[in-house]
Amino acid sequence: MERLSKKIVRGTIILALFLSLLFTFIIRAGDPLVDLNSENPSERASAAMALGRDKVFSSMGLLVMALKDRYASVRERAVFALGELRDPKTAPYLTLMLKDKNKNVRIRTAEALGKMGVRDAILPLKENLTDWHSNSMVVEALTKLGWKPQSDSEKVHFLVATRKEASLINKWSLTKNVLLQDVDSGRYNDIENALKAFIAMDVKDIFPVLINKLDIDGNEMLATAYINSGHPRLNSAARKWEAKTGHEISFISNDSVFGNKSIEKSVSALTL
């Protein structure tokens, strides 16, 4: 009888432990705050999206930490979530994401800053006016923040970002001067943006000017931008420059032009 009682007690304890674990699993399953720390990047991305959609303000610290996730999909959705929460305290961390190596993250960041309405974001957003991949959303965000282009370069970059080729051609002298300065800037994003704008306008006379610029003052960055421009004449000119100089130029991903080191350094010191 005593042995039977011990078995019953032992069985009761095991059952209680099992039910406790099961209850914990049920409670935790599907909890975005838990899933944000999942080993599965898809679960982390979905969790970030859910936290933003459901306006879970207690998740802000975790979402800011997710900005340095190695997976772009997670970073993009963390940016989205912070944009939905719209807390000005997170704006400094979001502005860092304008330099993320992934173009979709940069696009989502501009959108989030526009929603947030923090005017301190105007300056960092302006710096992305020459990011061909995100500048359309950058202009939308700047417009929401009440910014208007003032200088000649801002006016041209604004028109490029809004893809208003006809307006750019109507101001051809100004357009050409500003964009050729960008080609000479030594900054890859500015060069790429200028080339994409020239290609979109398709003014034939500009291509001999660009090719001559590479022949006379060419360098590896300029040749790389020409090869990656998608324009056959610029590509051909870059290949000729490559053969003449002995430099080996290759196609690149836009993701390789940006980096996350400053983002990781700043986010690691987060206190919210």
Q: Provide DSSP, 36-88.
A: TT-S-HHHHHHHHHHHHHTT-GGGHHHHHHGGG-SSHHHHHHHHHHHHHHT-G
pTM metric for this prediction: 0.81
> At CB < 8 A and 24+ separation, what contacts does 92-96 make?
92/120, 92/266, 93/64, 93/67, 93/266, 93/267, 93/270, 94/67, 94/121, 95/120, 95/121, 95/124, 95/125, 96/67, 96/262, 96/263, 96/266, 96/267
State yes or no: pLDDT of 158 exceeds 60: yes
Query: Which distant-in-sequence residues (6+ apart) come within 8 Å of 203 by Cβ?
Result: 169, 172
Q: How distant is the alpha carbon of residue 147 from its chain centre? A: 21
Residue 200 tokens read as 């979109």
Q: Which amino acid is at 148?
A: K
State yes or no: pLDDT of 25 exceeds 50: no
Q: pLDDT value at position 254?
A: 52
The 10s digit of each residue's pLDDT in 211-266 is: 999 999 889 999 999 999 999 999 999 999 999 998 888 777 655 444 444 444 44
Q: Does residue 13 or residue 136 have the better pLDDT? A: 136
**Are 225 and 195 in contact, with CB atoms under 8 Å apart?**
yes
Element (DSSP H or E) covering residue 253:
none
Q: pLDDT value at position 31?
A: 76
